[in-house]
Amino acid sequence: MLINSLISEKTFNEWAPERLKAISQQFDSSPPHDLIRWGSEIFGADLVMATGFGPEGIVLLHILAQIAPQTTVFYLDTDLLFPETYELRDKLEKRLGLRFTRVRGELSLNDQARRHEPELWAKQPDRCCRLRKVEPLRRFLSDKRAWITAIRRDQTAARANADLVEWDLTNQLVKINPLAGWTSKQVWTYLLEHGLPYNPLHDRGYPSLGCWPCTHAVLPGADPRSGRWAGHTKTECGIHLQLPPESPAA
Helices 55-67/32-43 angle, 10° precision: 60
Whether the CB-CB separation of 214 and 121 falls below 8 Å is answered with yes
Whether the CB-CB separation of 85 and 209 falls below 8 Å is answered with yes
**Which is catalytic among the residues 128, 129, 211, 237?**
237
Strand-strand pairing, 100-103 and 72-76? parallel
Give Cα 147 to chain centroid, integer Å. 9
- 237 labelled catalytic: yes
Phi, psi for 7 (deg, rounded to 5):
-65, -45
Give Cα 103 to chain centroid, integer Å. 12
Which residues are known to be catalytic? 237
